[in-house]
Amino acid sequence: MIFGGEVWGGQLMLTTMVDNFPGFPEGIMGPDLMEKFKQQVVRFGAEFVAKNVQKVDFSQRPFKVWVEDQQYSAKSVLISTGAYTLWLGVEGEKELIGRGVSSCAPCDAPFFRDKTAAVVGGGDSAMEEAWVLSKYATKVTIIHRRDAFRASEAMQKKVLENPKIEVLWNTEVVKVLGQQKVTGLKLLNNQTKKESEFSVDGVFVAIGHKPSSDIFKGQIDMDEKGFIKIADYLTKTNVDGVFVAGDVADPRYKQAVTAAGKGAAAALDILKYLDEN
């Protein structure tokens, strides 16, 4: 049984064209790719339930999973709840996701060839987004609310020495401008309190991701950010019989193809576990 959640499909449901998943030489829309995934597993007998899991109990066997008012038992559980982008929460942002607002330069940077782009953030992921975008865009502007980055020195050096990248310090985005697509940003200098409009073709939000792991707190080992720790191989957790795959355990790659690969590894590990038990 697959408990996909009421809002299933993860971050790919917010993505437009996916060009870096094998087997689709012309690219595929993110929601279409997820629908194909679902159809494939249902074809092999999996039951897909579009309901949210409220809580779990991994302290005894069989494991217990509560979905709305029903309780399910399982000999093995695979956690693949993903992670979600931390958005800015400003006016116009949500409406323009996939229309110039993005959170993944490796996914969307080619759409900004010969255009301008902004990156919001100050950590390593923001530096990486800006670096990738600079290979396509004519100009990349990093917008950071402080007067110094928190990224590693190596990443900062890489970005600050790039002639196509500039930085707006002590600056916050207060509104994303545009109707059908992004046309600019309304900015606030938090030192002078002066607002201004900034013309740009797209904005990449890189202020972090939060793994969707809250319901597993106290049940499974996690790091300080909530990413589930891998205890052995690629997929085993600290609880024997509970496995993990995808972005909920991946603070580094966060790509559909790596998540799918780990899902395949988890399936093999689960089969072996069930055979042995």
For residue 149, the domain's CATH number is 3.50.50.60
Of 183, 205, 227, at which residue does a domain stop?
205
- What residues are paired with 173 via a beta bridge? 187
Same domain, 188 and 244: no
| Separation of alpha carbons 49 and 40, rounded Å | 15
Residue-wise pLDDT for 164-183, tens only, equals: 999 999 999 999 999 999 99
Catalytic pick among 19, 32, 107, 114: 107
Q: At 185, phi and psi to the nearest 5?
A: -135, 145
The two structure tokens encoding residue 142: 């990093």
Q: Do both 91 and 194 map to the same domain?
A: yes
Residue 110, classed as helix, strand or coil, is: helix
Q: What is 209-262 written as a DSSP string?
A: EEES-GGGTTTS-B-TTSPBPP-BTTTB-SSTTEEE-SGGG-SS---HHHHHHH
- Confidence label for 39 from pLDDT (cuts 50, 70 and 90): very high
Catalytic choice (108, 201, 247, 269): 108
| Omega cis (within 30) before 31 | no
Q: How many separate domains does the chain show?
A: 2
**pLDDT > 90 in the chain, percent:** 84
57, 69, 104, 114: the active-site residue: 104
pTM, entire model: 0.76
Q: What is the DSSP letter of 47?
A: P
- Same domain flag for 187 and 226: no
78 and 96 inside one domain: no
CB 15, CB 104: distance < 8 Å: yes
- Residues 34, 109, single domain; the answer is no
Domain of residue 118 covers 87-205
- Specify whether 232 is catalytic: no
Catalytic (active site) residue 19: no
The answer to whether residues 126 and 173 belong to one domain is: yes
187-206 tens-digit pLDDT:
999 999 999 999 999 999 99
Same domain, yes or no: 201 and 92? yes
Residues 197 and 99 in one domain: yes
- Could you tell me what percent of the chain has a pLDDT over 70? 100
Q: Among residues 149, 181, 205, which one ends one of the domains?
A: 205
Active-site residue 201, yes or no?
Answer: no
